[in-house]
Amino acid sequence: MKCLFLFITTLVILTGCSRTNTDLFDDSPSIYFDGDLEIDFTFAKHKTDEVVIRIPVEIGGYKNSVERTFNLQIVEDSTTAIKGVHYEIMMPKIMMPADSFKVHIPIKVFNSDPSLKSEKVRLYLKLQPNENFVSGIYNKQELSLYISDILLKPSIWDNVYSGFFGVYSEAKHRKILEICDIVEIPDVYDGGSYNYKWDAFGRAVNNYYKAFYPQYDENNQVIEPWM
């Protein structure tokens, strides 16, 4: 009787272990967007009218020795960006490569629409489960990519940059980026009370407006030299 009890107990333990291992290895892999879920891209910080943005997607679970497709949906009723005008998804087949936990979906964005200088368009993406992947982290299944050619006035312009560049205008902002060969005017000042770099930048831009006077801002007002 004792032997029979031990046999049954051992069988139950082995069965439990077997089920646990099966459950462990049969767990369906999930998928989710990695990183920022709202990407605000502006061409104003670039010198080209085409840029490739790479959207990271990760899996939760085990990698696989074969490539696996996953579904990427463009949510039309929440998307204002137009395919072929504002963007193009460059990956013809959306897939997770073999032996990988992560892939970057390349999306080419275009600056061919003049209205981007005054408004943003939105590309709203959503991951959908399929036979290869289930939904992953619930709040990382959707992503918004905003595309524009809008420049924002640096928050410290009036306190800092006006001393080098005078009164702010978006037209002047763009000319500063062009002449100084920089991609942005930062909101964090990288100098002391007197900064030789920004002083040189200011004089270079001021000299441009002197040499090519008159130049006009976005409101058709003359940009006066300030030095």
89: CATH: 2.60.40.1740
- Number of separate domains in the chain: 2
Do 134 and 38 belong to one domain?
Answer: yes
- State the pLDDT at residue 12: 47
Do 129 and 66 belong to one domain?
Answer: yes
Question: What pLDDT band is residue 1 in, cutting at 50, 70 and 90?
Answer: low
Position 17 in a domain: no
Do 118 and 166 belong to one domain?
Answer: no
Question: What pLDDT band is residue 109 in, cutting at 50, 70 and 90?
Answer: very high
Position 40 in a domain: yes
Residue 190, domain extent: 157-211
Containing 175, the helix (H) or strand (E) segment is: helix 170-180
Of 27 and 140, the one with more pLDDT: 140
Which residues, including other chains, have CB under 8 Å from residue 3's CB and lie 6 or more apart? none
At which residue do the structure tokens 């928050």 appear?
Answer: 155
Position 41 in a domain: yes
Q: Compute the average pLDDT of residues 103-119.
A: 95
Q: Compute the average pLDDT of residues 28-38.
A: 93
- State the pLDDT at residue 47: 79
Do 118 and 50 belong to one domain?
Answer: yes
pTM, whole model, 2 decimals? 0.73
Do 86 and 122 belong to one domain?
Answer: yes
